[in-house]
Amino acid sequence: MELREVLQALRASWWLVVAGALVGALAALGVSLLQTPLYSSQTQLFVSATDTVTTSDAFQGSQLSAQRVASYANLLTGKRLAGLVIKDLGVSETPSQLASQITATAVTDTVLLDVTVTDPSPDQAQRIARSVGDQFSELISELENPGGADSVSPVRVRVTDQASLPTSPSSPKTPRNVALGLLVGLLLGAAGAIARVRLDRTVKDAEDASDLAGGPVIGVILRDDDLASNHTIERNSLSRTAEGYRQLRTNLQFLNVDEPPKVIMVSSAVPSEGKTTLAVNLALSLAEAGRTVTVIEADLRRPRVTRYLGMVGGVGLTNILTGSAGLEDVIQPYGDGGLSVIAAGPTPPNPSELLSSSHMFSLIDDLRQKNDFVLLDAPPLLPVADSSGLAVLVDGVVLSLRYGSTTKEQLAQTHATLERVGAKTLGVVLNIVPPKAEVTSAYGYGYNYGYDPDPAAPKTS
């Protein structure tokens, strides 16, 4: 995964990174607040040899002390010393419990021992630390004295730093824990954001869409709440969605300058990809440019064109194909432009056979002669076979691909279906794209190029 892709993943799922950081910080704070505060009191012990009169004695004593230090560190955390401290202070802990509160470290290349005692009470931590120093000195004298009370121990332990009273808890370290929790949560959130992108099989990239569909991305239509409810864009609208349809109109007309497609099937891989809204608004955009356009409601199972345009849908295509009505009987003009609509008509029991019949071919050929463009709103390609037979009768297919919904497997399977019947894919339209999504196509997109303000209009402060 390239750095650019990682940055895009983090930008797209920034909320996941922020949520991870917050959860990590709050979890660390919660754990810290639930922990019992512990206080630590430190003391330092010095190990030296006795009877060092000459230089040779001093050197040998120094070696002896250094050899003893490592062993003494283990003795400091042992049960025997803990028992002596318990007897001295009269505390209620067992030797094992008290020994677990004591840590001892030999300072490298010295004869010093650092001892730390941890306890929920700062006073008790200090008392135990001081008792450890006193009792350990006596314990070493006893252990190192081979001759009893009349002989002298070759090693002596003295307290160099008396244990002081701790003023603040040594644990939990709440600020540090929160910072670590924040960092861990941030990393986990970032990992989740990257994994989300890597595991996401939906199509969000124009290059992926083009490769999988076998045709260029010829348009990008932004998500529009008004369009989702009304299904049609107002005439002469200056919205970015309207500009997207105008750009699509331009791209469509220049796909093949010598022989531009006139009869175009608009379909999708699966339902709810915005294909009917795409077909209707593309037709309106073409009619707005002075083109004569006929839209055929070829989705006989779920017709939506007449509903979106507020037209009558009683009779239509199926009547023409079954011979019960003529083209002039069912075609309906829309608005005051060059747009006409052929409704679906009654739902037939055999949509696939009707749409791929010779009557459909004759109808398309007739409409080709009378219009600049003929748009067919066809059923989705994967759930039913209706569009497969229809696709070979048209000049090409425009696929509506819903951003972040259509999967790569669905798009590849759609391309294979069209290729299998010999249909031509004119291009792909990335539909219902979030306004903040970073999408570019071979034809360019998204540069908010509006009109100059009217110089005669009054200026507002």
Class (C level, CATH) for 39-161: alpha beta
Say how far apart CA 16 and CA 55 lie, in whole Å.
Answer: 70
Per the CB < 8 A criterion, the answer to whether 398 and 252 are in contact is yes
Low-confidence stretches of the chain (pLDDT < 70) are: 1, 50-66, 146-153, 438-461
The domain locations on the chain are 3-34+173-197, 39-161, 204-433
CA distance 38 to 173: 10
How far apart, in whole angstroms, are the C-alpha atoms of residue 434 and residue 222?
6
Query: How confident is the model at residue 147, as a pLDDT?
Result: 60
User: Which pLDDT score, from 0 to 100, does residue 54 have?
Assistant: 46
Supply the DSSP string of 25-66, one letter for each residue.
HHHHHHHHHHSPPBEEEEEEEEEEES---SHHHHHHHHHHHH
- 3-class DSSP state for residue 143? helix
Q: Phi and psi at residue 455, in whole multiples of 5°? A: -65, -20
How many whole angstroms separate alpha carbon 75 and alpha carbon 136?
9
pLDDT in the model for residue 460: 42
d(CA 332, CA 325): 14
Neighbours of 26 (CB within 10 A): 14
| The dihedral sign for the CA sequence 58, 60, 64, 66 | positive
Instruction: Give the integer Cα–Cα distance in Å for 416 and 408.
Output: 12
Would you put residue 149 in left (φ > 0), alpha (ψ -120 to 50) or beta? alpha
Residue 444 pLDDT: 44
Burial class (CB in 10 A: 0-12, 13-18, 19+), 56: exposed
The CA-CA-CA angle for residues 450, 453, 456, to 5°, reads 160
| Topology alike, domains 39-161 and 204-433 | no
Topology (CATH level 3) of domain 204-433: Rossmann fold (3.40.50)
Q: Give backbone dihedrals phi and psi of 116, rounded to 5 degrees, phi first.
A: -125, 135
Helix axes 55-76, 79-89, angle to 10 degrees: 80
With CA atoms as reference, report the closest residue to 399 among 374, 385, 382.
382
